[in-house]
Every structure is written in C-alpha cells, then in structure tokens.
C-alpha cells in the first residue's frame, strides 16, 4: 500500500511539474507564431467590388480599426475586449506601406483573413474574426476596398495609440484551443439570394453572429459554427465602450429568444438598432444599415430554422448615476449613449466634435432625431420618439460639455 501511495505521490508531482513548466513556457513564449502560407491571388479592383467590400468592411472591420482621432483605419484601443483577455489594440490597415498593409500582397491579406496568420507568422488574437466561409468573390471585394482610394484607407504613417498586452488566459487559449484555420483548397461560392435560408446562413456566419451570440468565445467552432456550444442561444459576456457587462441576446426561435419577433421587428432592430419595445440595442451590437431589407429577411429566415434554446438573457442595466448629477449626464447614461460613445464621448462615434459639426442646438437635436438623414449609412440610431421631448435640451447641454472638456484637454497638451 505504501508503495502504491508513493507511486501516486510521484505521479502527482510529475503532473504538477509538467503543468507548471507548460504554464511557464506559455507565459514566456506568448502567442505562437507559424509559417505563413503562400497564396497567389489576382484581384481586378472594380467600383462594384469596392462598394461591396465597403459594405462588409463597415460591419466587420471599420468599427474596430477606425481611430476617431485620425479619421482613418489606423487602429485603436478595443474597449469591448473582455478584461480576462488583456488589453488589445487593433492594427493600422490603411494603405501605408510601412505602418499599414500597403506593402502586403493580395494573397497575404487573404491568408490572414482566412487563417488568422499574418505575413510574418504572427497569429492574430482570438477576438479578430476569421473568414473561412466567406466566398472568394466577397473576400476579394473586401481586399478591393482596402486597396481603394477611400479616405478611411488613405495611407497614414502612424501606429495604434498603444501596445497590446494579451493576458495569460489569451496566451494559453492560443496554445490549446484557438489555432490557425486551414486555407480553403476549393473555391467558395456565394449562395443564391433566392434561397433565403442558405443565403441567411451565409450572411450570419460571415458576419460572425454566432461568435457573440453563442455561449462563449472559448467554445466557439469557427469551422463548424453550428457545433458551437449554445449556438445562437446568447448569454456570452461582452463589454460596451464604458467597460460595462453586456450579455448577448438569444437569437433562437424560443420564447426566451426571438419567438415573438416578426420579420419586420427583426429587420428594424438589425438595421436601425431599435427593438420592438422601442428600446435601443446595446453596443457591441451595432445597427447594420449596410444590410438591405432582403439581407435582413434572409437572416431572419435562417434564424427561424436553428434549434431552440431556452435561455432567458437579462438586459443590460444602465449604470447608476450619483445623486445630484446634472440631468443631461443622467440622460446620457439612462439612454445608453455611453454604450457606444464611452464615458468621455469618444468611443465608436466621437460626440466631442458635435459643437463643430452642429453649431446650434436645433441642428444637433435634428441629427439625434434623424441621424441617417444627415449621414446616410450611419450606425447612430434614430432617436425620434424614444428620447422624451423635454429631454433633448439637457442631453445636448451635456454633449456640448463633453466637447468643451475634450477641447480643453487637447489645448493643454
């Protein structure tokens, strides 16, 4: 018996030593690097491809890579990356040949987007979406947009405003769970839009709906999305621009999900950010005005076919504001403006320049009410009928206060 216990003790020590050694190796080596593949890819950049590429980039790339301070895709701090993954900054993807992707070949960009491996072999962090299912035509369109003369992609010789610091968890996951995806060996075609369910699945998979709306990032299956734990059942803990916890919604046709939503309800929420009960979706779920009604109808048709999951997901509670806080700031948080714009007013869309863009209060109020009339394609919801009539004046006052604070800070630097 003593011999057995002794052997058992040695076995436990070996396991502990092995685990400790592996943990030390992970901590020191960081995120793995790989040998990048070689892909020869010729793309004829046409206005049609650039426009379609911009449509996808607006939903998949611009939100994360657009730095409000440069007005270009030069990278920024990703405030919505869960703290357990560390601190992350997106990269410069402008046409700059040194700081951006201007010197990358089409094949190198395609290989990164498909597999997650850069041309230097660095593995992209797990929160950067990969596109193993995107059709060759649509992937080429995204690359065409990055090659275009769009102001967002204009060469900018700047680095992101900080350095990414992945947590131990992120390093560990990239060693044991998140691995590079295989580059496709056969052509990938876009399903016919006339096949609503197939086309809706194609859109939802390539827009990454399952990534956020399944149980959690760690158990997602990028190659076979439907095998992700809790597929489309929601509850994945996310963060908004204020660092507030946001649980992803249940998108299955269960009563705890979208069973009570009709096609029009879903289309309005997806394209404008307004739910059937006239509340506004919380970031990181952004409206997708780039999608047509037909696109939204196809996604809805597909979601009606996924297995039901009963999972009641609590709505995000707006942060409490200290007693005595001015009414404008209270409204700013009550309506979840901080969800997208952060505590300082910058965030995804920079409110701090509202004073220059809309010099008078009636002009700014008109924009808040009907943003898309001023900026077609904007992700700003139309707040007309949601914000109370008497609430615009104090809210606008607070927005202007954010602008003055930002201007004062910039002038003192």
- CATH of residue 55's domain is 1.10.760
Instruction: Give long-range contacts, CB 8 A cutoff, 24+ apart: 268-277.
Output: 270/296, 270/299, 271/296, 272/381, 272/382, 273/379, 273/381, 274/381, 274/382, 274/386
Q: What is the pLDDT of residue 339?
A: 85
Instruction: Give long-range contacts, CB 8 A cutoff, 24+ apart: 55-60.
Output: 55/290, 56/138, 56/141, 56/142, 56/145, 56/206, 56/290, 57/142, 57/145, 57/146, 58/290, 58/377, 59/207, 59/286, 59/288, 59/290, 59/291, 60/129, 60/142, 60/207, 60/208
- Answer yes or no: do 51 and 102 share one domain: yes
Last residue of a domain, one of 108, 143, 176: 176
Confidence of residue 192 (pLDDT cuts 50, 70, 90): very high
pLDDT at residue 138 tops 60: yes
Tell me how crowded residue 77 is: count the other CB atoms within 10 A of its CB: 16
* 169 part of a folded domain: yes
- Answer yes or no: do 223 and 291 share one domain: yes
pLDDT at residue 80 tops 90: no
Last residue of a domain, one of 176, 204, 239: 176
- Encode 86-121: b = buried (16+ Cβ within 10 Å), e = exposed: bebbbbbbbbbeebbbbebebbbbbbbbbbbbbbee
Instruction: Please state which of the ranges 12-21, 158-167, 256-265, 385-394 shows the lowest mean pLDDT.
Output: 12-21
User: What's the mean pLDDT in 199-224?
Assistant: 94
- Answer yes or no: do 292 and 371 share one domain: no
* 254 part of a folded domain: yes
Last residue of a domain, one of 176, 211, 235: 176
Q: What is the pLDDT of residue 315?
A: 85
pLDDT tens per residue across span 323-357: 667 899 999 988 888 888 888 887 777 777 777 78
Burial of 334 (0-12, 13-18, 19+ CB in 10 A): middle
- Answer yes or no: do 90 and 154 share one domain: yes
- Answer yes or no: do 116 and 145 share one domain: yes
- Answer yes or no: do 282 and 334 share one domain: no
- Answer yes or no: do 297 and 333 share one domain: no
The total number of structural domains in the chain stands at 3
- Encode 381-404: b = buried (16+ Cβ within 10 Å), e = exposed: bbbeeebeeebbebbbebbbbbbe
Domain that holds residue 213: 196-303
- Answer yes or no: do 115 and 171 share one domain: yes
Confidence of residue 242 (pLDDT cuts 50, 70, 90): confident
* 346 part of a folded domain: yes
- Answer yes or no: do 149 and 231 share one domain: no
* 90 part of a folded domain: yes
* 20 part of a folded domain: no
* 27 part of a folded domain: no
* 56 part of a folded domain: yes
Question: Quick one: which H or E segment has residue 271?
Answer: helix 263-272
**Mean pLDDT estimate for the chain:** 88
- Answer yes or no: do 385 and 284 share one domain: no
> Does the CA dihedral 375-376-381-386 come out positive or negative?
positive
User: What's the mean pLDDT in 79-86?
Assistant: 82
* 310 part of a folded domain: no
What CA–CA distances, in Å, run from 263 to 212, 274, 301?
21, 14, 8
pLDDT at residue 128 tops 90: no
> Could you write out the DSSP letters of every residue in 276-342?
TTS-BPPTTS---TTS-HHHHHHHHHHHTTSPP----PPPPPPPP--TT--HHHHHHHHTTHHHHHT
Instruction: Please state which of the ranges 65-74, 89-98, 139-148 shows the lowest mean pLDDT.
Output: 65-74
pLDDT at residue 268 tops 70: yes
- Answer yes or no: do 349 and 380 share one domain: yes
> Which of 16 and 341 is assigned the larger pLDDT?
341
* pLDDT > 90 in the chain, percent: 60
- Answer yes or no: do 65 and 162 share one domain: yes
pLDDT at residue 258 tops 90: yes
């Amino acid at each position: 018996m003593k011999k057995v216990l002794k052997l058992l003790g040695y076995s436990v020590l070996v396991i502990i030593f092995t685990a400790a050694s592996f943990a030390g190796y992970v901590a020191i080596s960081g995120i793995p690097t790989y040998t990048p593949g070689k892909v020869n890819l010729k793309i004829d950049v046409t206005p049609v491809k650039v426009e379609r590429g911009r449509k996808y980039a607006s939903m998949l790339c611009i939100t994360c890579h657009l730095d409000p301070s440069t007005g270009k895709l030069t990278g920024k701090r990703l405030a919505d990356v869960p703290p357990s993954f560390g601190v992350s900054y997106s990269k410069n993807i402008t046409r700059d040949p040194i700081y951006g992707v201007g010197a990358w070949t089409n094949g190198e960009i395609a290989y990164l987007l498909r597999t997650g491996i850069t041309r230097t072999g660095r593995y992209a962090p797990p929160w950067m979406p990969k596109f193993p299912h995107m059709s060759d035509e649509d992937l080429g369109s995204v690359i065409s947009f990055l090659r275009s003369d769009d102001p967002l992609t204009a060469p900018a010789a700047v680095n992101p405003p900080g350095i990414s610091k992945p947590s131990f968890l992120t390093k560990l996951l990239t060693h044991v769970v998140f691995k590079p995806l295989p580059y496709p060996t056969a052509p990938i075609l876009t399903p016919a839009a006339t096949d609503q369910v197939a086309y809706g699945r194609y859109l939802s998979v390539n827009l990454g709906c399952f990534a956020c709306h399944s149980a959690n990032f760690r158990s997602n299956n990028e190659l076979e999305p439907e095998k992700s734990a809790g597929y489309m059942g929601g509850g994945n803990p996310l963060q908004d621009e204020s660092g507030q916890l946001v649980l992803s919604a249940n998108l299955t046709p269960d009563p705890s999900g979208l069973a009570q939503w009709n096609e029009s309800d879903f289309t309005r929420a997806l394209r404008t950010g307004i739910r059937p009960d006239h509340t506004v979706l919380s970031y990181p779920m952004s409206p997708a005005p780039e999608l047509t009604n037909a696109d939204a109808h196809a996604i809805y048709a597909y979601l009606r076919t996924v297995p039901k999951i009963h999972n009641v997901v609590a709505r995000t509670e707006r942060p409490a504001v200290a007693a005595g806080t001015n009414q404008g700031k209270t409204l700013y948080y009550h309506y979840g403006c901080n969800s997208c714009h952060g505590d300082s007013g910058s965030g995804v869309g920079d409110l701090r320049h509202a004073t220059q863009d809309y010099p008078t209060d009636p002009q700014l109020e008109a924009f808040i009410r009907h943003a898309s009339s001023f900026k077609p394609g904007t992700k700003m919801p139309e707040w007309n009928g949601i914000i109370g009539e008497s609430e615009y004046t104090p809210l606008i006052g607070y927005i202007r206060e954010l602008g003055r604070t930002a201007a004062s800070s910039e002038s003192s630097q």
